[in-house]
A and B are shown apart, each in its own frame.
Chain A
Amino acid sequence: MITAHRLTKTYGDRTAVDGISFTVEPGRVTGFLGPNGAGKSTTMRMVLGLDRPTSGSVTVNGRRYADFPAPLREVGALLEARALHPGRSARDHLRWLAASNGIPRTRVDEVLDLVGITAVADQRVGRFSLGMGQRLGIAAALIGDPPVVVLDEPVNGLDPEGIRWVRTLARDLAAEGRTVFVSSHLMSEMALTADHLVVIGRGRVLADCSTAKFVAQHAASHVRVRSPQHDEVATLLRHRGLDVAAHGGELRVRGLGPAGVGELVGRSGLLLHELTLVRSSLEDAFMTLTADSVEYAGASR
């Protein structure tokens, strides 16, 4: 379990993480979601004791990370940037990690196998593709067989096969009862992987709920209606108690499916030019939620 309490990090007068509190429970995948620059990596670095919180605290199973005598056996982490020396082989990278925490050397071969890079284990990691580097990073995270696993943007740079592999791995780790905390800026990916979501923007928690609840709340759908008799149709549907919003020449109707809307309009003898079910994607929901908190918004054209 990871517990953050009023965790804050400021750099000069810029606040990267602004008093966030959340709990990451064992036995499920918790997605840590936010646009780039929202404070995800800073938070994760504070979890690992790499950055010192300006105020507040974060603990893993009740202890500060730095207080663990063998932290790799308690928390495994994949860091966002590749924390690797390009001149060292994958096997040697895992060997020093194992040595640092008194982990048996046999575990090196186990995790190489687990992530499927045994064949290239003796190559220098500078020659690795992004995907292989990411697999090595995950091997490093799992070397201590830790009850808590923290993955910062694990699918970055992976091909679809690799993405599915990470997704399955995260779910398997959680199914074993481990605490799994995965950051991403991709809502669609988190919807498939995470049981629970902590959404942040501009260093604040915007949502902390189950993925199912988040989807139900934010991924709304509506029926788009276009008609030459725009006003009459709007009046008719409103009289039936439906939520109707006019956007230029179209009406957005909530509360009834396209079939029902079509029948109502047809029975009144009004004309329709368009009747479409519009599902707003999770990505849209995420964008809407975080719209005010995007650090580097592109200029709209």
Chain B
Amino acid sequence: MTAVGTHAWTRVETAPPPGATAALRAEWVKFWTVRSTPWSLTAMFLLGAGLTTLVCALSAGALARGDVGEPVGAFVTWGIVFAQVTAVVLGALVVTSEYGTGMIRATLAATPRRGAVLAAKAAVLTSTLFVAGTLTALAGYLGGNWFLDREGIGLALTDDGVLRSMVGSGLYLAGLGLFAAAVGLLVRHTAAALAIVLGLVFVVGNLVMVLPGAWGEWATKLMPGNAGSAIATPQSFNPLLLDPWVGFAVFVAEVAVVLAVAAAVFARRDA
């Protein structure tokens, strides 16, 4: 056999190197080309806006008569509690579906800089959830407030905390999705990630309220779902919670810690 290793392959045209946004564009295409994304966002809208409207329609009369010992402001973003589930599902799937299918190897072969992959995923997820969450809250407010207005107890968008709760719903759902993605990156398993995050927000977050004394009070204030969600409503059902922006800062810090741990593990781990 003759020596065949002498002629090197040469490219015909040389494309410019990909910009810093290449990983971002790849994640954007990935995000919008699986059905779980539109499904999750549709479910978010239906649950978030639909349930808010429904609950306001059903409670408007009682609220107006003063039969309900709860603030009106707690009702105009009522559905966001349930929309949380969809944000968690979407956030977890963005990461865990890649591990479940082996896609993660294709992703990391295409973009070996793992920090860039994680940053791109986080940017796509949080920007989408922020917009979807804000629009969901706004639609829920418009729908629910229509019934409240008829009873003369409606809230204006300019009333204290109303506009903040619209944007806050977007911020909270974006943070929650990112939290689920970080947990997903740690456990690499859809069901496990969902169980951990939903359990923490819906079960543990409420259970700690029964702990005695200051312990219970602070545990309740600091649980991620409790600390973060106050920003998503003009007035909370739970008077114990931290102030909206303080609570959100605590929540952001908690998400940041979990995300940092996940990023460190991701950077070192074999794919």
Separation of A69 and B6 alpha carbons in the complex (Å): 26
A89-119 interface (Cβ within 8 A of B): 89, 92, 95-97, 99-104
Point out the residues of chain A lying under 8 angstroms from B29, CB to CB.
92, 95-96, 99
Whole-angstrom distance between the Cβ of A53 and the nearest chain B Cβ: 10
Separation of A296 and B36 alpha carbons in the complex (Å): 40
A176 x B9 contact (CB < 8 A): yes
Q: Mark A131-165, 1 if CB is under 8 A from B, else 0.
A: 00000000010000101000000000000000000
Whole-angstrom distance between the Cβ of A142 and the nearest chain B Cβ: 13
A17 within 8 A of B: no
A50-91 interface (Cβ within 8 A of B): 50-52, 65-66, 68-73, 77, 79, 81-89
Point out the residues of chain A lying under 8 angstroms from B28, CB to CB.
99
A147 x B9 contact (CB < 8 A): yes
Point out the residues of chain A lying under 8 angstroms from B18, CB to CB.
69-70, 100-102
B5 x A83 contact (CB < 8 A): no
Separation of A96 and B27 alpha carbons in the complex (Å): 7
B35 within 8 A of A: yes
A27 within 8 A of B: yes
B101 x A84 contact (CB < 8 A): yes
A18 within 8 A of B: no
Separation of A96 and B35 alpha carbons in the complex (Å): 16
Separation of A185 and B223 alpha carbons in the complex (Å): 53
A84 x B30 contact (CB < 8 A): no
Whole-angstrom distance between the Cβ of A23 and the nearest chain B Cβ: 9
Q: Which of B1, B30, B35, B102 contacts A79 (CB 8 A)?
A: B102
A45 within 8 A of B: yes
A89 x B4 contact (CB < 8 A): no
B110 x A101 contact (CB < 8 A): yes
Q: Known contacts A79-B109, A84-B103: does B22 contact A101 (CB below 8 Å)? A: yes
B212 within 8 A of A: no
Point out the residues of chain B lying under 8 angstroms from A50, CB to CB.
105, 108-109, 270-271
Separation of A72 and B22 alpha carbons in the complex (Å): 12
Q: Which of A83, A102, A145 contacts B11 (CB 8 A)?
A: A145
Q: Known contacts A99-B22, A102-B22: does B7 contact A27 (CB below 8 Å)? A: yes
Separation of A103 and B26 alpha carbons in the complex (Å): 11
Whole-angstrom distance between the Cβ of B30 and the nearest chain A Cβ: 5
A51 x B10 contact (CB < 8 A): no
Q: Which of A83, A174, A177 contacts B106 (CB 8 A)?
A: A83
Whole-angstrom distance between the Cβ of A214 and the nearest chain B Cβ: 12
Point out the residues of chain B lying under 8 angstroms from A145, CB to CB.
11
Point out the residues of chain B lying under 8 angstroms from A140, CB to CB.
106
B23 within 8 A of A: yes
Point out the residues of chain B lying under 8 angstroms from A102, CB to CB.
15-19, 22
Q: Which of A69, A82, A92 contacts B33 (CB 8 A)?
A: A92
Nearest B residue to A149, CB-CB: B9
Whole-angstrom distance between the Cβ of A254 and the nearest chain B Cβ: 26
A178 within 8 A of B: yes
Q: Known contacts A83-B102, A102-B17: does B11 contact A147 (CB below 8 Å)? A: yes
B216 within 8 A of A: no
Whole-angstrom distance between the Cβ of A83 and the nearest chain B Cβ: 4
A19 within 8 A of B: no
Nearest B residue to A76, CB-CB: B109
Whole-angstrom distance between the Cβ of A208 and the nearest chain B Cβ: 14
Point out the residues of chain B lying under 8 angstroms from A176, CB to CB.
9
Point out the residues of chain B lying under 8 angstroms from A262, CB to CB.
none
Whole-angstrom distance between the Cβ of B251 and the nearest chain A Cβ: 30
Point out the residues of chain B lying under 8 angstroms from A87, CB to CB.
34-36
**A interface list, Cβ under 8 A from B:** 1, 25-28, 45, 48-52, 65-66, 68-73, 77, 79, 81-89, 92, 95-97, 99-104, 140, 145, 147, 174, 176-179, 195, 210, 212
**B interface list, Cβ under 8 A from A:** 1, 4-11, 15-19, 22-23, 25-30, 33-36, 97-98, 101-113, 268, 270-271
18 contacts between A and B (CB under 8 A): A27-B9, A45-B105, A49-B109, A50-B108, A79-B102, A88-B33, A89-B33, A92-B33, A95-B29, A96-B27, A96-B33, A99-B22, A99-B28, A101-B18, A101-B110, A103-B15, A147-B9, A177-B8
3 closest A-B pairs by beta carbon, nearest first, are A102-B18, A100-B26, A25-B5
